[in-house]
Amino acid sequence: MPVEPLSQKEIEDRLAELPGWSLDGDRLTRSSRLGSHFAATAMVVHIARVQEELDHHSDLTLGYDTVSLSVHTHSAGGAVTEKDVELARRVEDLAPGHGAH
């Protein structure tokens, strides 16, 4: 079943529900700062598990005490879809447990 790109208005509506996330070109992006390198690493592992569950993967970058994500849907021509929004929501749900801000 093909995944349809979201319209600009739909993306804006979804982003209004996802504080800290933004549209950068054709990708949803978010960076979070954590209390330590270990906390950031643990969050990356947790996000990787969620990505496997969803079978949808972002560009995921680990810094010393930061985690950055950038996501779009390759099968939709690199556009933003509901799959990207769902991943962003799942990341937002797990982030507080890692002390991300």
pLDDT at 1: 56
Contacts of 52 (CB under 8 A, 6+ apart): none
Predicted TM-score (pTM) of the model is 0.96
pLDDT, position 85? 98
| pLDDT tens digits in sequence order for the chain, 101 residues long | 579 999 999 999 999 999 999 999 999 999 999 999 999 999 999 999 999 999 999 999 999 999 999 999 999 999 999 999 999 999 999 999 999 99
Say what the pLDDT of residue 68 is.
98
Q: What is the pLDDT of residue 38?
A: 98
Q: Domain ranges for the chain, please list them.
A: 19-74+81-98
Question: What is the third-level CATH fold of 19-74+81-98?
Answer: Gyrase A; domain 2 (3.30.1360)
